[in-house]
Amino acid sequence: MGRMTAMALAPTSGLANRVGQSIIGVLLGGVALTLVTLVGAPFETHRGAVALIYLMIVAVVSLTGDLVSSAAIAIAATLCLRYFFAPPPSSAGLDKPLDIAALVTFLATAAIITRLISRMQHLTQELRRRETYLAEAQRLTHTGSWAWQVAGGDALHLSEEWYRIYGFDPKESIPAWEERLQRIHPEDRAKWQGEIDRAIREKADYEMEFRILLPGGSVKYIHTVGHPVFNPSGDLMQFVGSSTDITERKQAEEALRQAQADLARVSRVTTMGELTASLAHEVNQPIAAAVTNANTCLRWLMRDHPDVEEAREAASRIVKDGTRAAEIISRIRLLFKKGTPQRELIDVNEGIREMLVLLRNEATRYNILVRTELAANLPRVMGDRVQLQQVMMNLIVNGIDAMKDVDGARELAIKSQKAEDDRVLVSVSDTGVGLPPEQADQIFKAFFTTKPEGTGMGLSISRSIVESHGGRLWAADNTARGASLYFTLPTKVEAKE
């Protein structure tokens, strides 16, 4: 209601202001004309000099931007000039060419100046309005604009939002280069300075992300973009640009990464749960062998003439079987373990063999022949062992699932080889049901599954893991029967975080 009342009264208030402004302009101009006339008339001042002074008074009144008051003063000045400073007989009439010329000059001056002033006021208001919009947009996007001089690094412009982001008080003096430099996080300062030096040296744009450390100890992530400004001679003079607070985005990305890691772990646990029987069989084998060798060792020792050499060999087999069981359990624990990714140099072939040990009984259960062609002297890749083992586990399990109910030969072929661009290529091929028609890429989408009991997350998680390592994962139908899944990993370029 109050806003509507203010809108209704706004035109009336504006009219009253304009009337008041006109009255004040007429009064001030009238006083000035009176003083000039009282001083100049008794001394018979030259008419041209008085006309020039009158013209100045009209111009000053016109600076208010009010055409009514300036026109009134222009007419009054013409009449005063005719009555008090024209040759006798004195008259207030405008019957001579000079009088008409004076009136036209005064009125034209008033009209031109008031028009210019009015236009200037309008442009000023428009500029202020746009500055308000810009400041609001910067506040909403957490983006501050700036400009600084290359010589000395003095700031030429710092927006209000820039002050807020960097924790400076806009009411105080503009912070110097060293003060602004101190806001950069100590660990990022060298990187920031190096990029600035490069941009100055190459006279080029720059763009980077870094952290700032506020006096209270809080840390913000900043994305900044700078553009060079040159003088007519082509010399680099300034950099202008913007700084955006991307702290919330970084926190969201970290939360997303954590959620993806948790989801991947759940997927691992789910898959391992489905393979419980197979894993139990793998662990039972070395344990049963160890028990058998232990009984054999006891028999050799309990003879009338203990055979120490045979007993020693049996004990060695016990150690070997126990070690094998411990390794299997260790691999299983790693897959269940929750933790942050640990990047290290990994032997891809070794990771494949470890997964085959865990899944061997599952393949045997469905009469699947597992064939491997692992390239010798394969370069190592930089990555997280558990994550890459999960990829292999997902691909192998998918291949086994695709062949569970098919008739004919069931073969799972796993190959590793060197690829172009210093990459390792791994493929997992089956002789199963093949890919859904025209949906080779659909299978990598979250929650898309062709299995009644599937979650549709295994391949989606596998692709995200491979891509986070700087690689690529894709699928293709086999010529005869079944499907193949391929992924590449870089060997020389460190994987993306």
Q: What stretches of 315-378 adopt beta strand conformation (E)?
A: 343-346, 369-374
Q: Which of 70-74, 261-265, 464-468 has the lowest mean pLDDT?
A: 261-265
Burial class (CB in 10 A: 0-12, 13-18, 19+), 48: exposed
- Evaluate if residue 13 carries a pLDDT over 60: no
Burial of 1 per CB tally in 10 Å (0-12, 13-18, 19+) = exposed
Strand, coil or helix: 426: strand
**Measured distance CA(220)–CA(198) in Å, rounded:** 24
Write out pLDDT tens, residues 447-482: 555 555 555 567 777 888 888 888 999 888 887 788
User: Which of residues 295 and 35 earns the better pLDDT score?
Assistant: 35
Q: Which two tokens stand for residue 177?
A: 């280069």
Side-chain half-sphere exposure of 112, counting CA atoms within 13 A? 9
The 10s digit of each residue's pLDDT in 335-371 is 555 555 667 888 999 889 888 877 787 788 888 999 9
Mean pLDDT of 96-109: 80
Instruction: Give percent of the chain with pLDDT exceeding 90.
Output: 19
Q: What is the pLDDT of residues 415-430, one digit of tens each?
A: 999 988 889 999 999 9
pLDDT of residue 394: 82
Write the DSSP symbol of residue 240: E
pLDDT at residue 497 in the model: 43
